[in-house]
Structure 1
Amino acid sequence: MSSALDEDTQQAIASGRETAGAMLRAAQKDLQKVFIVFLIGFLGTFYALSLYVWEFFKGVTKAKMDASTEGALEIIAQTPFDVLLLQAKIALVVGIIFAIPPFIYFSRDALKARNAWPKSPVAPWKLALIGLTMLLLFAGGVAYGYLVFFPFTFEFLARSAHNAGFDPKYSIVKWSQFIFLLTVSFGLASQLPLAVTGLSYTEIVPYELFRDKWRHAVVGIFAVGALFTPPDPFTQIMWAVPVISLYAFSLYLARVVVTAKRGSEKLDLKGTATKHWNLLAGTGVGGGLLVYAFYEYEGIKLANDALVAVGSQYRFLEPGSQLVLSAFIVAGVLVALLLGLAYLVFRDIQQIERTQVGVGDPTKLDLSALDADGIRAAPPEAFADREENEIMGLASAAIDDGDREKAQALIDRFDDSEAKREAAEAEAEESDGLEDRATRAGGAFFDELTEGETDEDDIGGYYKDVSFIVDSVTSRAFWIIGWFMLVLATTFGWLYSGGIKFVYDNFLDRLPDAVTPEEVWSVITLHPMEALVLEVKFSTILAAFATLPLLAYFAWPALRERNIVRRRRRTIYLWVGALGGGLLGGFALGYSYIAPMVITFLVEDAIAANMIISYRITNFFWLIFFTTAGIGLLADVPILMVLLNSAGITYEMMRTRWREVTVLILALSAVFTPASITTMFMVTIPLMVAYGIGLGVLFVITIGGRRDLAPARGAAE
């Protein structure tokens, strides 16, 4: 294994092992203390889970559910050891987290010897302040999750599953993993202000990067939310909006601390507050009056009516006493004061950025506010995109003000910038000329090597074909993606709004009465998001099938030009009709006869033995899919092979490329079927059998590959 790693990696691994060993030796005499801390965290978490946490989680899960949904929801253990092992795993992780800080502290001598310990001591109060801030932010993020996000999310998920006719019986393992994953995500997201501010202050990541890439940050936040939350817009917005707000607040804090660091003599918080005390006082009084007016003039009633209108079960509560109302008014005053002070500091920062070199975007530096020394010290980017007329105008203004030194400095810096720009352009032109000569030489050498002839077996031949086809389709990407998203959204909306219940009830009606007694038959969801994920998968598969004809229509001219297919584009209509007929015919056969027969065969013995049948929703619906649409897909395989042969794909190529086809089917099965190797092979084997049948049909039609169905190359159709 080590021989497969480069020398630097081996040295890094060896150094890590040595450091870990040195830390263990340095902390050896204190390992007993570390173990005691670990044991406290382990035992405390283990018993807290059994005594308080599970009941608390259940309360949060059912907080916003109506009586019907709450009565249907159950938390179940699938094995006798689920609860015990889960508590032990969680307690083990918490115990290790508890033990890491004392272990690092006791092994500090080994870290100091390897220059891995801070050389300059940090004041204890600063460490305590940072630690307290981290804890408060983490607690705030978790509080939002448990007070707002979790109740709405679980109510939405359980109600949608229950309304579809399924029983939300969550596995305690999957349910708790879902809760802990989202808890950690909220806790980590709440650290954004501290992380962004710290990275900006230490200049590990410049503040300007966080500021300029805010669009990427918003997209990333929604992408992470799509992974952690259910695939509906409401819960994703509930997750993303607070995080985006934290990111915006983080940018403000980072801007304050970076400006304070770069120009501390110019940013005077106390002076700003003293200078504008009257404005701050008025802002504070206004905030208090707004809070008082909200409670005095039926603001609570209006807010509660609005919450009822949007279907929320949250309500604003009356203060209850004058003392509580006074506390609310004081809080309003303090919040208004903070907001007013924040605005004044923000205004001061803008003024500093206009006059201070190095703060903000250098290309937007206000040169008119600088003196001669500031012009000479300005970064080169401040003159890179300036027009000559602008610089001459600034120089003329400086002469009018009697500052000839500044005017000369402006002209000198602009001339230097122009000279560097012209030199860079000349160097780029020379580099392009060398590259063109090298390309021509390489092309001549390749032509000589191949004697001026190329075919599909030359190096890069397939790549050129694929690149040409992809480029031809890319120009139509808007239509392809738009159609895909429209079909996906329409299908998902239909399934979510009752379509999946219709399919479920209609399918059960086709089963014999003897195998569908309601008292022993149910379909359950073990994970809170299982039903929604299933709907998204089915919608994606249907959208992909619906998009294939459109993709083929746009790619057909390029395929024909590269001589991959030889018939005209109108052939696509024949393809869609043949494949659609095969798919619908197989689906009808499977839905009417094969699927009910298979389900009956699987359950009749269990019902005869008085067993309770609780199928997991994922397995049950994939079984229906395989025995309905799967029959149509199997029927389409030989049909597609005949159509491909008529378009120009030879029988010989299909016969020799069976390995690539097998790998492709395995890959698609791994993506679109449940996460099970058995299921993957159960899908792959029938498809490969259908592929073999298609080869047999082609062998007969093409007389052993001697006469393909496609017209000859270059033949007019």
Structure 2
Amino acid sequence: MSSALDEDTQQTLAAGRETAGAMLRAAQKDLQKVFIVFLVGFLGTFYALRLVVWDFLKSVTEAQMSAHIQGNYDIIAQTPFDVILLQAKIGLVTGIILAAPVFLYFSRDALRERGAWPQSPVATWKLAFIVVTSAILFVVGVAYGYFVFFPFMFAFLAGNALSAGFSPTYSIVMWAQFIFLLTVSFGLAAQMPLAITGLSYAEIVPYETFRDKWRYAVVAIFVFGALFSPPDPFTQIMWALPLLFLYGGSLYLAKVVVTARRGSERISVPAVAKRRWNLLAGSAVVGGLLVYLFYERGGRTAFNGLLARFGSDYRVLEPGATLGLPPEVSLAVWAALGAAAFGIATLAYVVYAAIAESVDPLEAGLGDPSEIDVAGLDAAGVRAAPPEAFDDMTEDEAMAIAGQAVDEDDHEKAQAVLDRFDEAEERRESEADEDAPDVPEDAGTIEDRATRAGGTFLDELTEGEKDEDDIGGYYADLAFIFDSVTSKTFRIVAVFMLVLAGTFAWLYTGGIKTVYDNFLRSLPASVTPDEVINVVALHPVEALIFEVKFSTLVAALVTLPIVAYYAWPALRERNIVRQRRRNVFLWTGSLTAGLLGGFVLGYAYIAPTIISWLVHDAVTANMIIAYRITNFFWLIFFTTAGIGILADVPVAMVLLNSTGVSYQTMRNRWREVTVGVLAFAAVFTPAGIMTMFLVTVPLMVAYGIGLGVLLVVTLGGRRNLAPARGEDV
């Protein structure tokens, strides 16, 4: 068999290995320095965690907790090595992060030879400004997380667990990983002003795009929050609101920067200052006067009282106690600084106002940029106009505007119009070339390479065949069925989301406690839950994650009959089923009856018996059992609803046989069924190989029972309940 990777992918991997080897050779003599930086980062982080960080993180966790919650939550180590290994892992990551830039710097010669070292025309001071600004924003984002988000979030999560009857007993590993993940996410989210402003200033993404696509940004913020924050409405709002305000502030900052760049060539700062000298002088006087009144007319005392009311130990000192100068001189210095600050702020405002006025036709923010009247602009305005103003311009229109400019003796404007029209023509031709179907194979993008690689892999898997009995034939059927339900996607998704939201809301608002209490009451009297069985949360959001998974599973089960109803005509057309669509109701009723019957049997007899048997030895030895929330509720689910699902397996097999899926097909495809069950168990059950097999084995036993039932019903496969697929009716 040939390789499943195409030639482009193999060449890319080979080039990557060669580059990595060249980098190591180039930095060989300096690897000792790289290792020293790594070691400093590793040891520094290791001992900082031990001496300072753990206590700080615990104080952040407890900052907003009531005395009751603080007395009922714990942070534990599950094994003797948890803490030291966690410190080593964090130190290792920190050391690598610190050593990586040093390694890249020493291997720059190898990267430069391969064209991988950036040749930036940006001045060094600008790069330094970007790095410093990024670091400041990262610190601000992390500060919001530690001093606002984390305290309220942990108080809410721990209180929610206690109100449901669980013990918030957090594993130090899961607790620390959760905090550090959110720390990084807040730091990255805080880079939004720098990213938006930089992209707008460089015209990589025009400011108008960020302004007009704000709805997509709102959706992206909530999606980003769903990935990095707990899946509950309270913390989602605490995550999203600051980012929404940050996006709005970033838009305004980008507008200021872009406006200043577009109009800077036509504005002279000294000229503006000279023209508005009276406003600048007045603002400076006001600034100095405010500082004087603050110190001499009770402002300092009132501000210190306000700080004391909020519990702050910080105080504003008298003028003479800060600069080491006499009080009168210190007051004069502070007043001068206040006057300068007000004057500079006013100068920035009047300069920006002048720039905005000069580029008003471009930045008014009203209407479509393509509606700009190019004929009414001067030469500089034509050059600064957005590309959309020339996209729909014809050659005759461009020549007419240029001719009018020549008649007005404005040759510079005429040339600017023709240049911008030529740029628009080149852009249109480039877009047309990109849309052309004939693209040279060696000019493919990353997506092209991925497609070719995937196609090569599929060809190797199916050996180029697409019969009904191989994966290619099944893919064709699945694609046809999927296309048939596409028009009903909105309804299907709406039902799925409504059921998911309703189930989650019920569990979230006390349903999970109701299930817990009712189930404990069904246990035998020999098992005393308050003394023997404790349900604990090792992860801060463990209960919420279980609620989301369980809600998703319920929504999928409810939506499945609707999908079958809409897909039934396509199934009949592909000769997969024989019966009419109304049989979906028979299916739904039969499977629901099997599910409810198995659930009642499991809830009344099987689940209490199994749990009592599992805890019998612990009860006899006077031990205390602590179940994780996830494990305990999945145990309840598997021993109640799981029994119903097992009962549905033979029922579903009989129903499938009545639609044309033969006994021989189900018997011969048991391997594919096993793989599908394993995949289902991996997604919808707690992590762990043992749990996967505990789910897979009973389901496969039920599948075997179903085969036995079909063996009897179909007389060994000789008389299926409906003609098999591919046979004539």
TM-score with structure 2 length normalisation? 0.77
Distance 1:380 1:197, change over 3 A: closer
Q: What do residues 549-581 of structure 1 show as CA deviations (whole Å, max 9, x unaligned)?
A: 222222223323443322222222221111111
Residue aligning to 2:47 = 47
Q: Give the distance between the partners of 1:531 and 1:122, measured in 2 at CA.
A: 50
Q: CA deviation at 1:510?
A: 1.0
CA shift in 2, pair 1:706/1:598, >3 Å? same
**Does 2:143 align with 1:143?**
yes
Correspondence for 2:22 among 8, 18, 22:
18
Matches within 5 A, 1:459-608: 462-463=474-475, 465-608=477-620
Distance 1:242 1:343 in 2: 30
1:12-42: per-residue Cα shift (whole Å, max 9, x none)?
A: 31122112221122x25xx3x5555444433
Identify which range, 664-673 or 393-402, moves more after superposition.
393-402
Residue 528 of structure 1: CA displacement?
Answer: 0.3
User: 1:457 offset after TM fit, Å?
Assistant: 7.2
The one-letter amino acid paired with 2:359 is: I
Alpha carbons of structure 1 residues 191 and 377: separation in structure 2 relative to 1, 3 Å:
closer
What residue in structure 2 maps to residue 169 of structure 1? 169
Amino acid at match of 1:16: A
The structural deviation recorded for 1:533 is: 0.3
The TM-score with structure 1 as length reference comes to 0.78
Give the CA deviation at 1:105.
5.3
Moved more, 99-108 or 113-122: 113-122
Counterpart of 2:13 in structure 1 is 9
What's the counterpart of residue 367 of structure 1? 374
- Aligned equivalents of 1:176 and 1:547: distance in 2? 38
Structure 1 position 237, deviation (Å): 2.4
1:238 equivalent in structure 2 = 238
Contact 1:367–1:375 (CA under 8 A) maintained in structure 2:
yes
Unaligned runs of 5+ in 1: 304-314, 432-453
Cα distance between partner residues in 2 of 1:525 and 1:12: 44
Q: How far is the alpha carbon of 1:57 from its aligned partner? A: 0.9
Secondary structure at 2:27 match in 1: helix
The answer to whether the 8 A contact 2:22-2:110 is kept is no
Instruction: Determine if the alignment matches structure 1 residue 192 to structure 2 residue 196.
Output: no
Change (3 A) 1:336 1:676: farther
Pairwise CA distance, 1:234: 2.5
Counterpart of 1:63 in structure 2: which amino acid?
A: A
Deviation at 1:134, TM superposition (A): 2.7
Answer yes or no: is the 8 Å Cα contact 2:26–2:109 preserved in 1.
no
| Separation in 2, partners of 1:361, 1:9 | 46
Residues 248, 586 of structure 1: alpha-carbon distance in 2 compared, 3 angstrom cutoff: same
Cα distance change on mapping 1:340 and 1:546 into 2, 3 Å: farther
Q: CA shift at 1:628, angstroms? A: 0.6
Residue 641 of structure 2 corresponds to residue 629 of structure 1: yes
* Letter in structure 2 aligned against 1:609: A
CA contact (8 A) 1:515 1:600 kept: yes
Once the 2 structures are TM-superposed, how far is the Cα of residue 176 of structure 1 from its aligned partner?
0.6
2:76, 2:170 within 8 Å by CA — same for their partners in 1?
yes
Q: Is the 8 A contact 1:260 1:267 kept in 2?
A: no
Equivalent position SS for 2:18: helix
**Within 5 A, what are the aligned runs for 1:204-243?**
214-243=214-243
Q: Tell me the amino acid that sits aligned with residue 600 of structure 1.
A: S
Aligned 1:29-428 pairs, distance under 5 A: 31=32, 34-103=34-103, 126=126, 128-201=128-201, 214-258=214-258, 260-261=260-261, 264-266=264-266, 341=348, 345=352, 348-349=355-356, 351-352=358-359, 354=361, 363-371=370-378, 382-385=389-392
Mapped pair 1:687 → 2:694: no
2:136 is matched by which residue type in structure 1?
L
* Counterpart in the other structure of 1:309: none
Q: Distance in 2 between matches of 1:421 and 1:130?
A: 34
Structure 2, unpaired ranges of 5+: 319-330, 439-465
Shifted more, 80-89 versus 591-600: the winner is 80-89
Mapped contact 1:161–1:531 kept (Cα < 8 A): yes
Output the amino acid matched with 1:367.
V
Matches of 1:574 and 1:531 in 2, distance apart? Answer: 36
Q: 2:669 aligns with which of 657, 661, 676?
A: 657
Task: Tell whether the 8 Å contact from 1:284 to 1:337 is kept in structure 2 after alignment.
Answer: no
Query: In structure 2, do the counterparts of structure 1 residues 258 and 569 end up closer, same or farther at CA, with 3 Å as the change threshold?
Result: same
Instruction: Name the SS of the counterpart of 1:13 in structure 2.
Output: helix
